[in-house]
Amino acid sequence: MINITPLTIVGRNVNEVYKEAMWKMPIFGSKEGSRNGLVMVSNVPVISTYERPMERILFNANRDANPFFHIIESMWMLAGRNDVECLSLFNSTMGNYSDDGVTLNGAYGYRWRAHFDHDQLRWVIGELARDKTTRRAVLGMWDPYTDPQYVYMGGKDAPCNTHVYFRVNMGALDMTVCNRSNDIIWGCYGANVVHMSFMQEFVAQAVGIPVGSYHQFSNNWHIYEQHFHLLQDNDDALDLYKTNDLSHFDLLGGGAPLELLMELDIFLEGMRDGTFIEIEFKSPYINHVLVPLVYAWRAYKSKDIPHALARIVDIQDDAVSMACMKWLERRLYK
C-alpha cells in the first residue's frame, strides 16, 4: 500500500532531527532521476520540527558543515543583500549559482527586504506587534510574476523556500517555512536551519517575545547520490548542546532591530575590503561574534593557524565558537 501520510520528524534541535532523517530517508524514499542527477526522494512531503531553533549548529563531523559560511550567509540575508562577492569570501562556489556572476536571483534576504519593493521583515514585525493573534503575518519569497519566466529561461537560482508563516503560540513565536524542493544535506539540515532560525530569532526579539518552534515543510525532500554514504552515518557523537552548557549570544541583545540591520550591511561591506576593523559598531552581536569570526576566517585563509585559533576563542557564542574550532581542527588533523 502506498503511503500518503506526510512524514514528520520532531527533535530538540537540528542534531536530533538530522540523525533521524538519515535513517528515515532509505525507508520512506526511493531513487529517481533529476536535472542534477540521481536522487533518493521521499514519496511524501516531510515536516521537520525543531523545539529549540536557536540550537542551530549541526555538529556532525561527517556532514562537516561550515559554520563560518552559514553564520555570515545568515547575516547577509538579514541585511537584504544579493551580491555574490560577499559570500564568495567564504564559499568560492557561490558564483556557480549566479547568472551574471554578480548577483543571486533567488537571494532570500533580498526577497525579504527589497525584491517586492517593500521590507517584508519590517511589515511582519509590525503586524505581530500590532496584533499577537494575527494569522496574516506571511512572508513571501517566490515571485509569481518573474520566477516562472526565469525558470522557463533556464535560470540557475530560483528560490527553493517559497514562503514563511509566523504565529504567536502560547506567548512564543512559532514559524513555518514552506519549501518546494529541499536537499537534506546542503539545504534542509545544512543552510536552511541556520538561516531561517536567525530570521525567527530576529523577528521574535524585535516583537519582544520568546522564540517558539520552527517547522519546515519540504514538498520534495531528497538527497543526491554523492551524499548517499551519509545515510549510513555512524557518527554517534553526542549532541553537544545536551552534553555542554553552551551559552547563546542574543542576536539583538536589547538593541534596536533596524539599527542592527543597517549595521550588518555596513559590517558586510567593510568585510569585503577589510575596513570593518576601523568601524565602531553598536551591536554587541557584531562586536562579540561576527568580528572575531571574520578575523579567525581571514587568519585561517592566510594559514596563520595560531591566530585563527586565538580569535575563535574570542567568539562569545559557545556553540558557534565550538563549531568553528572543530571545523578548523578537522582540517588540521585529518
pLDDT bracket for residue 253 (50, 70, 90): confident
pTM, two decimal places: 0.96
Q: Considering the domain boundaries, does residue 232 fall inside one?
A: yes
The CA-to-CA distance between both ends of the chain, in Å, stands at: 46
**Cα maximum dimension of the chain:** 64
Does residue 314 sit within a domain?
Answer: no
Of residues 254 and 267, which shows the higher confidence score?
267
Structural domain including 228 reads 7-242
In a domain, 158, yes or no: yes
Q: 178 catalytic, yes or no? A: no
- For the record, the C-alpha cell of 68 comes out as 563560518
Domain for residue 236, yes or no?
A: yes
**Is 249 inside any structural domain?**
no
Would you state the pLDDT for residue 254? 82
Number of domains in the chain: 1
The answer to the question of residue 98 being in a domain is yes
Q: What percent of the chain has pLDDT over 70?
A: 97
Task: Give the mean pLDDT of the chain.
Answer: 94
Q: What CATH number should be reported for the domain holding residue 106?
A: 3.30.572.10
Say whether pLDDT at 326 is over 80: yes
**Grid-cell match 520532531, residue found:** 10
- Where residue 10 falls among pLDDT bands split at 50, 70, 90? very high
Number of H helices, E strands in the chain: 13, 10
Instruction: Identify the active-site residue in 160, 178, 188, 324.
Output: 160
Domain presence at residue 294:
no
pLDDT value of position 46: 98
The answer to whether residue 261 is domain-embedded is no
Q: What pLDDT, in 10s, does the model give residues 131-159?
A: 999 999 999 999 999 999 999 999 999 99
**Confidence check: pLDDT of 1 > 60:** no
Comparing 105-114, 252-261, 291-300, 310-319, the range with the smallest average pLDDT is 252-261
Given the C-alpha cell 568580528, which residue does it identify?
291
- CA separation for the pair 59, 64 (Å, rounded): 8
